């Protein structure tokens, strides 16, 4: 049984059609990317899937069997908590103390020495790593990512993509992005939002971070760019 | 607080005192219109016990008015944010309450609550209630959406979100509420004392004014000013220590 199924799902904002006839079926530990230009309603879709408060009217069916963790565009770290407390946020909100897992997650992103620092003392890339550790901390089957690396510099982005790739084993992911290369690196299947609906999925070829970009990948990249610009 | 800081402020103070004395000499102002710095200084020393006795009363009024008004404001702001129905009833009431000039109802407060401390505390609390509520409500309303989304995605309840996200997030705004409150509270207390009181610095000023003891009026005024400044700087210092990320957020 798929973790997440969207069947003929349409999103309306008042009477305006935002996204039309979306069909997605996401299986366990499958990674998909939804690629779209800014302002096309990608983030809205993620909010709807997460079940967050949203202003949209839905048509069609959406069923999500999985527990979800969410990683946003901005790091969204709480400035009054230390780094380790931020990582532990999901436990903290349930009234629990810092779990040993929080330390492990922080170690995995390589920020153990910063555990007791306040987040505003970290660089943009480090903050996103803390956000990543916070996401890992939640033992969910599905991770929803909303352009998680768009606000960091190129090198940090690549590092973060490596980390993400590592933690994604055994978990399903939906990645929202406007960067075809990021989609190619992290996802198995790539949907492009075109004319308010999804194209049939492009199958990714799993390029690694340092891998050479082969002609076939390059062709796929071109295809994605073409699909995006339509 | 460097030496330069103190030196600069001392020079400003001396300048102001010089201006004060200079104006009196230049315009030949009689001592029953404007007291000289020297006369005021002597009053401050000789009448220290009297001034201290009245200062204590005003101090209690200010502090209690501050605490009551601030807590009421904070509580109202939380109620507004947590309940839409309550907000729809309370908000018009608050705007209405703001339309009543507090100064104008001071005599009524004295009539209803007597010449004692209560009417002054209520006066001070009323004075700061609305600005504090507005500041706190604003702060609570403007929690960054991404923080709320993250917390909701972790299945936090609305109360957990209020205590663990909204309130700490609003601390910088709450501290502006505190700053407003501490600068409004003395005004409320003094107005209350002017309208009807048997003790307090406001009462002392009225009495001294009627007896043409202008130096005593000035002495009370200087104590009031020092109190207000002291409150302001103490809260400012404390808040900077307690909310260190205040200036870090973009």
For tokens 């043409």, the residue is: B212
Kindly report the average pLDDT of chain A as a whole number.
84
Least confident of A133-137, A207-211, B108-112: A207-211
Asked if residues A44 and A66 have their Cβ atoms less than 8 Å apart, the reply is no
* Domain contains A230: no
Task: Return the pLDDT at B247.
Answer: 64
Is the per-residue pLDDT at A224 higher than 90? no
- A138 CB neighbours in chain B (<8 A) are 154
What 3-state class would DSSP assign to A153? Answer: coil
* Domain contains B66: yes
Residue with more model confidence, B80 or A204: B80
* Domain contains A225: no
Contacts of A91 (CB under 8 A, 6+ apart): A97, A98, A99, A102, A137
**Quick one: average pLDDT of B35-39?**
86
Task: Return the pLDDT at A206.
Answer: 64
For an interface test with B, the pick among A79, A82, A127, A140 (most B C-beta atoms closer than 10 Å) comes out as A79
Contact yes or no for B152 and A53 at CB 8 A: yes
For an interface test with B, the pick among A76, A87, A124 (most B C-beta atoms closer than 10 Å) comes out as A76
Asked if residues A225 and A204 have their Cβ atoms less than 8 Å apart, the reply is no
Asked if residues A63 and A5 have their Cβ atoms less than 8 Å apart, the reply is yes
Asked if residues A183 and A177 have their Cβ atoms less than 8 Å apart, the reply is yes
- A76 CB neighbours in chain B (<8 A) are 144, 146-147, 149-150
**Quick one: average pLDDT of A34-39?**
84
B119 exposure class (CB count in 10 Å sphere: 0-12, 13-18, 19+): buried
pLDDT digits (tens, 9 = 90+) for B143-168: 888 899 899 888 888 899 999 999 98
Closest-CA residue of A relative to B147 is A76
Q: What tokens does B115 get?
A: 């010449």
Is the per-residue pLDDT at B248 higher than 60? no
pLDDT digits (tens, 9 = 90+) for A108-153: 888 889 989 988 888 888 898 899 899 988 888 899 998 888 878 8
* Domain contains B196: yes
Asked if residues B227 and B62 have their Cβ atoms less than 8 Å apart, the reply is yes
Is the per-residue pLDDT at B250 higher than 60? no
Structural domain containing residue B179: 54-142+174-242
**Quick one: average pLDDT of A40-49?**
84
Is the per-residue pLDDT at A209 higher than 70? no
Task: Return the pLDDT at B237.
Answer: 87
* Domain contains A227: no
* Domain contains A91: yes
Picking from A196, A194, A192, the residue whose alpha carbon sits closest to that of residue A184 is A192
User: What total of structural domains would you count in chain B?
Assistant: 1
Task: Return the pLDDT at B1.
Answer: 62
Is the per-residue pLDDT at A12 higher than 90? no
Least confident of A187-191, A211-215, B196-200: A211-215
Contact yes or no for A69 and B169 at CB 8 A: no
Query: Who among B149, B154, B244 is closest to A93 (CB)?
Result: B154
User: What total of structural domains would you count in chain A?
Assistant: 1
Q: pLDDT over 90 for what percent of chain B? A: 28
Asked if residues A193 and A229 have their Cβ atoms less than 8 Å apart, the reply is no
Is the per-residue pLDDT at A8 higher than 50? yes
Asked if residues A209 and A185 have their Cβ atoms less than 8 Å apart, the reply is yes
Q: What tokens does A56 get?
A: 């949209």
Distance CA B181, CA B177 (A): 6
Distance CA A109, CA A111 (A): 6
Least confident of A30-34, A74-78, A202-206, B108-112: A202-206
Kindly report the average pLDDT of chain B as a whole number.
88
* Domain contains A189: yes
- A53 CB neighbours in chain B (<8 A) are 152
pLDDT digits (tens, 9 = 90+) for B63-105: 999 999 999 999 999 999 888 888 888 888 888 877 888 888 8
Q: What tokens does B47 get?
A: 């009448």
Q: What is the pLDDT confidence band of residue A212, given thresholds at 50, 70 and 90?
A: low
Contacts of A8 (CB under 8 A, 6+ apart): A21, A22, A23, A59, A60, A61
- A90 CB neighbours in chain B (<8 A) are 154
- A133 CB neighbours in chain B (<8 A) are none
β pairing state of A142-146 and A172-177: parallel
Distance CA B92, CA B114 (A): 29
What is the model's pTM? Answer: 0.77
Chain B: give the shortest CA distance to residue A32, in Å.
20
CATH of the domain at A177: 3.40.50.300
Is the per-residue pLDDT at B187 higher than 70? yes
- A118 CB neighbours in chain B (<8 A) are 244-245
Task: Return the pLDDT at B8.
Answer: 93
Is the per-residue pLDDT at A211 higher than 70? no
A/B interface, count of CB pairs below 8 Å = 52
Structural domain containing residue A81: 4-220
Q: What is the pLDDT confidence band of residue A204, given thresholds at 50, 70 and 90?
A: confident
What 3-state class would DSSP assign to A113? Answer: helix
For residue A121, CA distances in Å to A76, A86, A109, A129 come to: 14, 14, 17, 14
């Amino acid at each position: 049984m798929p973790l997440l199924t969207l069947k003929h799902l349409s999103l309306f904002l008042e009477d305006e059609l935002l996204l039309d006839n979306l069909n997605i079926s996401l299986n366990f530990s499958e990674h998909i990317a939804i690629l779209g230009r800014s302002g096309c309603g990608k983030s809205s879709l993620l909010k709807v899937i997460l079940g967050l408060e949203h202003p949209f009217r839905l048509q069609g069916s959406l069923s999500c069997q999985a527990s979800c963790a969410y990683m946003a565009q901005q790091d969204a770290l709480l400035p009054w908590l230390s780094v380790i407390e931020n990582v532990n946020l999901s436990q903290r909100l349930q009234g629990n103390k810092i779990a040993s897992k929080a330390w492990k997650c922080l170690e995995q992103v390589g920020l153990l020495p910063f555990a007791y620092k306040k987040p505003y003392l970290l660089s943009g890339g480090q903050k996103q790593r803390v956000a990543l550790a916070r996401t890992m901390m939640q033992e969910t089957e599905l991770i929803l990512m909303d352009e998680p690396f768009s606000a960091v510099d190129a090198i940090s982005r690549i590092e973060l993509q490596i980390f993400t790739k590592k933690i994604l084993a055994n978990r399903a992911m939906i990645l929202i992005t406007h960067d075809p290369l990021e989609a190619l690196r992290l996802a198995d299947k790539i949907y492009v939002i075109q004319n308010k609906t999804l194209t049939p999925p492009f199958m990714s070829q799993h390029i690694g971070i340092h891998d050479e970009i082969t002609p076939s990948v390059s062709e796929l990249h071109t295809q994605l760019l073409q699909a995006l610009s339509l | 607080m460097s030496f330069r800081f103190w030196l600069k402020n001392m020079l400003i103070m001396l300048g102001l005192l010089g201006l004060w004395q200079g104006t009196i000499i230049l315009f030949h102002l009689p001592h029953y219109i404007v007291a000289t710095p020297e006369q005021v200084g002597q009053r401050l020393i000789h009448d220290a016990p009297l001034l201290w006795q009245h200062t204590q009363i005003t101090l209690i009024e200010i502090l209690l008015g501050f605490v009551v008004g601030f807590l009421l404001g904070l509580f109202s702001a939380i109620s507004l944010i947590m309940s839409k129905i309550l907000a729809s009833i309370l908000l018009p009431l608050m705007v209405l309450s703001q339309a009543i000039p507090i100064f104008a109802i001071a005599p009524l407060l004295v009539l209803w609550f007597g010449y004692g401390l209560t009417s002054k505390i209520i006066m001070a609390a009323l004075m700061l209630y609305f600005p504090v509520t507005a500041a706190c409500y604003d702060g609570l309303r403007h929690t960054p959406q991404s923080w709320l989304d993250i917390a909701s995605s972790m299945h936090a309840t609305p109360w957990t979100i209020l205590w663990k996200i909204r309130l700490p997030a609003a601390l910088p705004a709450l501290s502006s509420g505190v700053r407003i409150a501490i600068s409004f509270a003395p005004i409320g207390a003094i107005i209350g004392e002017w309208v009807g009181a048997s003790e307090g610095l406001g009462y002392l000023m009225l009495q001294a004014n009627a007896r043409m003891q202008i130096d005593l009026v000035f002495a009370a005024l200087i104590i009031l000013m020092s109190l207000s400044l002291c409150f302001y700087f103490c809260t400012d210092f404390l808040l900077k220590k307690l909310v260190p990320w205040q200036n870090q957020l973009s």
